[in-house]
Chain A
Amino acid sequence: MDDRAFSENINRIRQKDREGLRMIYEDYRSLIYSVVFEILHNRENSEDVTSDFFIRLWDIAEIYREGNGHRAWMITIARNMAVDFLRKRTREDLTADIPDSPKNVTESAEDKVLPGMNLEQALSVLGNDEREIINMKIMGDLTFKEIAAILKEPQGTVAWRYRTALQKLKKINRSVSGCDHE
């Protein structure tokens, strides 16, 4: 969905037309869910926050302004909601939730890459920051500048991490697909 189509749907929401929200939801549910999941690492909680995000989008449609990139805007809000959720849960001492994927994987996890891994397994051995950047770049189609602004990291660092992660994934997939004849 481009900026113009997004704005049209936002206008529909402003007129209390739920179909506008539905259109945005259909296009971005995977993006928002994956952004939230990369922070919460728990399916159930991610579903809660993703639902809340779209309900909040209904409320805040009025203040959306064109021209600053709607994907970056939505991702920023979704990340804030996920981080806030995490903070609240931590305060309530409910951190015993078992994560559905590894939370803290170091960058040296490349050593753990095994031949025959599928993409999902390969992603699980990337670092959190690498997975987040990969997700925002591929699913959100954001520029490195936008990702850097969201993560509050230098643009060069973001680009480097993305390239490193991509190389790891490509290596894995070559192994899986049997194309690695080196």
Chain B
Amino acid sequence: MNEEELKKEYRNLKNRTAPDLWNRIDAGLTSRAQKETETPVEKKTGTGTPEPKVIRFKKSWAYALSGAAAVIILAVGLSSGRMHGTATAPIAPAGSATTAEAAAMAQPVPSVSSTTTASAQPTAAAAKAAADNRASARSENRVFAENAPDTAMQEPAEAPQAEVFAAATSSLPSGVTRSGSVLTDRNASLYAAIGKTFGLSDDALSSVSCLYTYVDLNHDNTEEVLACVTGNSVPDGKCILWLSKYPDMKVIQEWDSAEAPVIISDETSGGANELIMNITGENGEVKHLLLAYSGGHYAALSDAEEVNDYDSIRGTAVLCSE
């Protein structure tokens, strides 16, 4: 049996074994349409205002906080001499035996609402320490926001940011200006658009991280969004997205496996700035591809030409890590 015969038999086998699910799909669509008609609740398309995320307070956090608070009170007491002679270990609840463990367990606390934190009654010192930790964590996220986004914002998640910054930004051509405007917050509309594009559930979406910035590539006096998305749920682990901002945030074009930063060239084609994107080959070699604009879209990476004289490029680099 030759290769073609084998392929034919394979296709026949798969066609035979695939069940007919059309009635089920059709019924699913009908049932959903009926529900939407009956209850005119806003569809979960990610374009509207998202429901506020409810953060459930974990019992272990209370233990950790109370344990930490007890330790701090004890320490303060000892140092002031008021509790002299009571150098026994504080009674800590199960699961928070040591100060170090308590401190470690207290790490998720920054995302808890103030009401919830208050219920654990931390000391002023503990609250200040937590605030310092938050400030420190934020500074490490390197947010250089110039434009405040107009959509609902959430606390930056613990998604891995390091991968986003993997591409070197130090080797930009001398004629390229580095833009400091890069946002890293979990913009609800943006993440909804990403989820729709890649068909991700909320869980899968939570593992995705993103850098983004506002641009006007096609000179229509309307801002768009350029985003660098990374995560296991994204094709090839990383991609660049160009999204419309109005009326809803929607993906205009995606470039799988492209990396940040992106250079917006001073040169234009078809009424929009040309883009230079980076991809890393199998041997680790970085290639710079020139994407021309035509007919409302940029070229796909597979159709893009490699930049001949990278050092002579003039433009602005966006989605830079530093």
Residue A93 interfacial (CB < 8 Å): no
Specify which of A47, A72, A139 is in contact with B14 (CB 8 Å cutoff). A139
Residue A76 interfacial (CB < 8 Å): yes
Compute how far the CA of A130 lies from the CA of B28 in the bound complex, rounded to whole angstroms. Answer: 34
Compute how far the CA of A150 lies from the CA of B6 in the bound complex, rounded to whole angstroms. Answer: 24
**Chain B proximity of A179: nearest CB distance (Å):** 7
Chain B residues lying within 8 Å of A33, measured Cβ to Cβ, are 14, 17-19, 21
Compute how far the CA of A65 lies from the CA of B253 in the bound complex, rounded to whole angstroms. Answer: 7
Specify which of B3, B28, B32, B254 is in contact with A68 (CB 8 Å cutoff). B254
Chain A residues lying within 8 Å of B24, measured Cβ to Cβ, are 47, 51
Chain B residues lying within 8 Å of A60, measured Cβ to Cβ, are 196-197, 199
Chain A interface category by residue count: 35 or more
Q: Per-residue CB proximity of B5-43 to A under 8 Å, as 1/0? A: 111011101110111111011101100100000000000
Compute how far the CA of A171 lies from the CA of B319 in the bound complex, rounded to whole angstroms. Answer: 51
A65 touches B254 (CB 8 A): yes
Chain B residues lying within 8 Å of A25, measured Cβ to Cβ, are 22, 25
Residue A6 interfacial (CB < 8 Å): no
Compute how far the CA of A77 lies from the CA of B274 in the bound complex, rounded to whole angstroms. Answer: 29
Residue A89 interfacial (CB < 8 Å): no
Instruction: Label chain A's interface by main secondary structure.
Output: helix
Which residue on chain A has the smallest CB distance to residue B201?
A: A84
In chain A between 17 and 47, which residues have their CB closer than 8 angstroms to a CB of chain B? Answer: 18, 21-22, 25, 29-31, 33-34, 43, 47
Compute how far the CA of A60 lies from the CA of B194 in the bound complex, rounded to whole angstroms. Answer: 11
B28 touches A55 (CB 8 A): yes
In chain A between 41 and 98, which residues have their CB closer than 8 angstroms to a CB of chain B? Answer: 43, 47, 50-51, 53-56, 58-60, 62-63, 65, 67-68, 72, 76-78, 80-81, 83-84, 87-88
Chain A residues lying within 8 Å of B28, measured Cβ to Cβ, are 51, 55
**Chain B proximity of A19: nearest CB distance (Å):** 11
A63 touches B197 (CB 8 A): yes
Compute how far the CA of A21 lies from the CA of B26 in the bound complex, rounded to whole angstroms. Answer: 10
A88 touches B250 (CB 8 A): no
Residue A154 interfacial (CB < 8 Å): yes
Compute how far the CA of A145 lies from the CA of B301 in the bound complex, rounded to whole angstroms. Answer: 12
Residue A174 interfacial (CB < 8 Å): yes
Residue B237 interfacial (CB < 8 Å): yes
Chain B residues lying within 8 Å of A54, measured Cβ to Cβ, are 21, 25
Chain A residues lying within 8 Å of B252, measured Cβ to Cβ, are 65
Specify which of B9, B282, B300 is in contact with A155 (CB 8 Å cutoff). B282
**Chain A proximity of B163: nearest CB distance (Å):** 13
Given contacts A51-B28, A139-B14, 15 further A-B contacts (CB under 8 A): A25-B25, A29-B20, A34-B18, A43-B19, A55-B25, A58-B29, A63-B193, A63-B197, A72-B235, A80-B204, A87-B203, A149-B256, A149-B257, A150-B235, A152-B236
Q: Please list 28 pairs of residues, one from A and one from B, whose beta carbons are closer than 8 Å in the complex, sorted by A's number.
A: A21-B25, A30-B18, A31-B14, A33-B14, A34-B14, A34-B18, A47-B19, A47-B24, A51-B21, A51-B28, A53-B199, A58-B29, A59-B196, A63-B196, A63-B250, A65-B253, A78-B199, A80-B199, A83-B204, A84-B201, A84-B203, A84-B204, A119-B10, A138-B11, A139-B10, A170-B6, A174-B1, A179-B1
